[in-house]
Amino acid sequence: MFVCASIECFPASAKEEAPSRLVDLEFSSIELPIHEEGNSWIRPSEVLANLDSAIDRCRDTQRLAVAALSIEQTVEGRPLEGELYYQQFAACCKLAKALKVVPLIVPAAELGTPFNAEIERLRELVKIASFEGCLVALKTQIGCMTEDPDTATVLCDNVKGLGLCLDPTHYITGPRQGRDFSKVMPYVYHVQLRDSTKTDMHVRIGQGDIDYGKLVSQLAHEKYDRALSAHVPPLDDYDHRAELRKIRLLLESLL
């Protein structure tokens, strides 16, 4: 296992500034958001339009190794659908292969989505990703089908090769709080971390309910050897750099 940080830790900053800030904080790896909307390093539509340019832009990370790509394809907040959706995803897989990145993080369908429809979508994503040697990691997320650890594992069991991007916050703060989510550990392809309580999704590192030591131990038991990615947003009245440094040092001390 190794520690990295996401560009999404800096929502209000120009994206070009984030790598140098992470270098200053002594991170060596980075997670890049490839989102059509919001804070993004490059957009999926841009990747499809010009793959070579996208590769060049994603290599310009101040020598930080790219540990994972987070891919979100939306139009006005709604998931993109149809053939264009799969074309963009395939282009992002080619980008990942060029960058030698394996985990591709994708959002799960919203609650209420027909189970069979989600299985079909995920099977197609896994099929496309496998052509480029990539793995699809479905985000554990409040409001989506993965907010329940039981459903998350059932999805993985029904789609061969599918894994999870584990964000424990969504099991600690969400409507399934208190449930044992250790059952998802064998399926984890990527991990996103901050600190949280039952009532607040974002609190100062060390002030929340996430047991980092137990989490690292459970992942080690499953022979997880990929990234622990810091997803620490700024908190009012607190030094953001100090919080990022704190989570890096904490995680490194456990490895």
Q: What percent of the chain stands above pLDDT 90?
A: 85
CB 95 within 8 A of CB 59: no
**Overall average pLDDT of the 55-66 stretch:** 92
Q: Give the number of other CB atoms < 10 A from CB of residue 86.
A: 17
Name the region of 85 (left: φ>0; alpha: ψ -120 to 50; beta: rest). alpha
Domain count for the chain: 1
Strand partners, 78: 75
The CATH number given to whatever domain includes residue 226 is 3.20.20.150
Domain containing residue 136: 2-254
Which of 189, 188, 99, 90 lies closest to 130 in space, CA to CA?
A: 90
Asked whether the predicted pLDDT for residue 23 surpasses 90, the reply is yes
Does the pLDDT value for residue 90 go beyond 80?
Answer: yes
Q: What is the pLDDT of residues 130-154, one digit of tens each?
A: 999 999 999 999 999 999 999 999 9
| pLDDT given at position 38 | 83
10-14, 136-140, 177-181: which range is least confident on average? 10-14
pLDDT band, residue 17 (cuts 50/70/90): confident
Read off the pTM.
0.95
How large is the average pLDDT for residues 10-34?
Answer: 89
Structure tokens at 106: 């994708």
Residue 88 CB neighbours (<10 A)? 22
Mean predicted confidence (pLDDT) in 15-42: 91
